[in-house]
Amino acid sequence: MILTGLDRLLAEGEALAGRRYGLLAHGASVSNGLVPAHLALMATGGEPPTRLFGPEHGMYGIEQDMVPSADQIDPWTGVPVVSLYGESESSLRADRAHFSDLDLLLIDLQDVGARYYTYAATAVWAAVAALEEGCEVWVLDRPNPIGGEVVEGNLRQEGFESFVGAFETPVRHGLTLGELMRLEGARNDWPEGLRVWTMQGWRRSMLWDETGRLWMAPSPNIPTPQTTLVYPGLCLLEGTDLSEGRGTTRPFEVVGAPGVEPMRLAEELNNRGLAGVHFVPTFFRPMFHKHEGEICGGVEIKVTDPGSFQPYRCGVEILFGFQRLAPDAFAWRDRPYEFVSDRPAIDLLSGSGELRELLEAGGDPADLFDSWASQEDQFRRECEPWLLYPGEARP
């Protein structure tokens, strides 16, 4: 079993002695013994954190997507919890004043390896505020559940920055949170004070099931490690009016809309020749979120070979498949998305306008896939000095 940065810090025993520290964490931030991070640190060091910080979905993973979390008091310790996902875009960035009485910020967040998963943006923005206030930052690293050898997709282009596109990385970036923060620190010339507590035993080739650790859902709609395999592609459906399976027991693993004929769609997608995946015709009824209470026709995505599966390409192919076979059910999301109202949600997610424009023009998605290779290679070269774990990068 691998040990996380939290486990290694706990083993040090006295590392937090005399420190006034804050902790940015969530429900998946648990020790090897499944003790919540702040309680485990308190048991080891004797002192609770001075302040807790919660990302999107809240410190305890209660809220659904884009639902604000309120400041509160931790019921187990009496420590205040500062929400970093409130009613406005300004709430996403920690105030430097939150660190004026601290000398250390601990960050322990389970990421899922996709550019638009918002915990990395929260971690980076909190770290910047803390470092600017003269507060050290320790990142307690955790596995990338979809591995660290493969990168996939286009780089986010300038002008498409957002909470779901905070970094110029491919959608599947292949980094741990600690590595991503080292990269961003180098890109932006951060002040000194960042330290990554590395994992023990993790290798870049590992998927979650090889780590020996039990899965704790980092957010309400990532209930299993299998969900992480499809998320880098299926999150694209948030930019449409198609259901991505929220409100069901299989979020991101079932997709569809009312009026869609599942058999034709499954046949169309299976004929695209995508490696490591099979599309099963299905019906489902979301109990909340898009198409609440309605029967949706669509497909269930079954990953048959994680090693060859390309989730981002899969998501793109699904969009084109719906547009070809069910154009009446297909529409872009036209409501504000993660506090942004002046750009389409699909552009924020895909990191440019290219995907939307090609689909609207009835183009061939292969044109997109061909354009990714040079960007993926560019990113691999840039990341190499900041990697922390052994493994060989592969295309």
CA distance 366 to 241: 24
Q: What is the pLDDT of residue 93?
A: 96
Q: Residues 298, 266: contact at Cβ < 8 Å?
A: no
The tens digit of pLDDT for each residue in 47-73 reads 899 999 999 999 999 999 989 999 999
Q: How many residues does the chain have?
A: 395
Q: What is the pLDDT of residue 13?
A: 80
Element (H, E) at 180: helix 177-188
Q: Residues 153, 170: contact at Cβ < 8 Å?
A: yes
The tens digit of pLDDT for each residue in 316-341 reads 999 999 999 999 999 999 999 999 99
Q: What is the pLDDT of residue 45?
A: 72
Tokens of residue 91, six digits = 């709430």
CA distance 274 to 317: 9
pTM of the model: 0.96
Tokens of residue 275, six digits = 């490696």
Q: Residues 92, 84: contact at Cβ < 8 Å?
A: yes
Q: Residues 38, 107: contact at Cβ < 8 Å?
A: no
DSSP assignments along 194-255, one per residue: EEEE--BS--TT--GGGS-PPP--SSTT--SHHHHHHHHHHGGGGGBSSB-STTSSSTTTEE
Q: What is the pLDDT of residue 395?
A: 38
Q: What is the pLDDT of residue 394?
A: 43
- C-beta neighbour count of 190 within 10 angstroms: 18
CA distance 365 to 378: 21
DSSP assignments along 99-158, one per residue: GTT-SEEEEE----SBTT-THHHHHHHHHHHHHHTT-EEEEE----TT-SS--BSPPPPT
Question: In the 8-state DSSP scheme, what is residue 25?
Answer: E
CA distance 354 to 154: 10
- Give the sign of the dihedral formed by CA 80, CA 86, CA 87, CA 88: positive
DSSP assignments along 42-85, one per residue: HHHHSS--SEEEE-TTTTTT-S-TT-----EE-TTT--EEEESS
Low-confidence ranges of the chain (pLDDT < 50): 393-395
Domains of the chain: 5-206+381-386 (3.40.50.12170), 225-369 (3.90.1150.140)
